[in-house]
């Protein structure tokens, strides 16, 4: 089979770029913004978790501020089987420049192979895999050069506005600081989540200019470049705007945490876990629960806890990376990196220090 025939039979490649180079000054923290935790897991890892569900060929993460810290964390916790590459944006010159740097991490031998590139910010941890899959499907079905995930907001202040041209195609995205009074009336906004045809991306990036209010290279300006060149730019409007909410400060972090906790609690209840009061039940993303587990009000499962079938936890109990065996009961207690055997009884008012072990059927406390 010739090389041309091999390419024709090869699945259309899909790559991803995660932009995680920013300092996040509004977080007011020494910790890089992508590593702030949501439900016990660094924010950017929630983005990678979503990408893991759509089977991308490779993920390129653009790092910058505290690059070593971000890289080390992701190497240790990247979803199994994900091929990941790191590139460093040494100077923060905007998202367009970050994307140019990112392209150096993609395989050059497949540059003209008809593949697509999904681009996401590292601070959108609530994006669902199904939404990403829909974006890619819409992009490929319409044969667009680029497809934007957009949202319609009652108050679009601060967001880039989507401006449409002939045939209702997207003509450009105007950042809020650069928008006219008329353009600021538009309620459809860019979410900074895209799918690009790779073959047109690099040439478009080379035509960007920093002639704007921020003096930066905007990735959004690629839309205007493609439109002027006669390419089709599409959009997919997200149904749930919470999915595309960015996290830029501690207040937004708390909002995202509450949303993600609600999703986690709902998932476990649908899998057979009873929660007396879901609003007062806190389960981190890495916890694993069996069927017929009962969680009473005030339960906190922090880190990679495991609670086996028929166990009962609470009220007002805090487990940190601990294991609870089948049928065990833990009440009014704190347990740190401990192992509690099947049918054991712990509490009330017990503190199990790190490394503690309660044997099956054992009892600790009053």
**What is the pLDDT at residue 3?**
43
Q: What is the secondary structure of 244-308 as a DSSP string?
A: G----SHHHHHHHHHHHHHHHHHHHHHTT-EES-GGGEEE-TT-EE-TT-EE-TTEEEESS-EE-
Query: β-strands 339-340, 41-42: how paired?
Result: unpaired
CA within 13 Å, CB half, 323: 11
pLDDT of residue 46: 96
How much is the pLDDT for 2? 41
pLDDT of residue 309: 98
Q: Is 26 a catalytic residue?
A: yes
pLDDT of residue 113: 65
Can you give the pLDDT at residue 151?
Answer: 96
Candidates 7, 10, 12, 26; catalytic one = 26
CATH number of 271-364: 2.160.10.10
Please report which helix (H) or strand (E) contains residue 157, including its range.
none
CATH class of 3-244: alpha beta
β-strand partners of 313:
295, 330
pLDDT of residue 297: 98
Residue 111: what pLDDT?
61
Separation CA 107–CA 73 (nearest Å): 24
Domain ranges of the chain: 3-244, 271-364
Closest CA to 86 of 235, 76, 275: 76
List pLDDT tens digits, range 223-271.
999 999 999 999 999 999 999 999 999 999 999 999 999 999 999 999 9
Report, as ranges of residue numbers, the positions in the chain whose pLDDT lies below 50. 1-9
* Cβ contact 86:78 at 8 Å: no
CA pair distance 188, 174, nearest whole angstrom? 11
């Amino acid at each position: 089979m010739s090389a041309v025939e091999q390419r024709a039979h090869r699945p259309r490649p899909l790559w991803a770029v995660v932009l995680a180079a920013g300092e996040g000054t509004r977080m007011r923290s020494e910790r890089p913004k992508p590593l702030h935790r949501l439900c016990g897991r660094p924010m950017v890892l929630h983005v990678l978790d979503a990408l893991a569900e759509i089977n991308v060929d490779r993920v390129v993460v653009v790092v910058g501020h505290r690059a070593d810290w971000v890289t080390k964390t992701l190497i240790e916790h990247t979803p199994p089987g994900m091929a990941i590459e790191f590139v460093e944006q040494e100077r923060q010159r905007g998202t367009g420049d970050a994307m140019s740097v990112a392209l150096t991490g993609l395989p050059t031998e497949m540059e003209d192979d008809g593949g697509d590139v999904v681009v996401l910010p590292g601070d959108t941890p609530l994006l669902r895999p199904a939404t990403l899959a829909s974006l890619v499907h819409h992009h490929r079905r319409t044969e667009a050069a680029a497809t934007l995930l957009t949202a319609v907001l009652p108050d679009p202040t601060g967001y880039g506005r989507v401006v449409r041209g002939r045939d209702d195609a997207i003509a450009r995205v105007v950042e809020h600081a650069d928008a006219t009074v008329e353009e600021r009336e538009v309620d459809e906004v860019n979410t900074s989540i895209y799918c690009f045809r790779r073959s047109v991306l690099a040439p478009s990036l080379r035509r960007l200019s920093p002639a704007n209010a921020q003096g930066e290279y905007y990735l959004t300006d690629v839309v205007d470049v493609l439109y002027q060149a006669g390419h089709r730019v599409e959009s997919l409007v997200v149904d749930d705007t919470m999915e595309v909410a960015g996290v830029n400060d501690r207040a937004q972090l708390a909002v995202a945490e509450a949303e993600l906790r609600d999703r986690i609690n709902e998932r476990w209840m649908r899998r057979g876990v009873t929660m007396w009061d879901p609003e007062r039940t806190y389960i981190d993303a890495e916890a694993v629960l069996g069927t017929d587990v009962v969680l009473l009000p005030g339960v906190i499962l922090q880190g990679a806890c495991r609670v086996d079938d028929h166990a009962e936890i609470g009220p007002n109990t805090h487990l940190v990376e601990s294991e609870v065996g089948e049928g065990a009961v833990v009440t009014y207690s704190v347990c740190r990196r401990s192992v509690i055997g099947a049918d054991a009884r712990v509490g009330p008012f017990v503190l199990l220090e790190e490394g503690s072990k309660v044997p099956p059927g054992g009892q600790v406390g009053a």
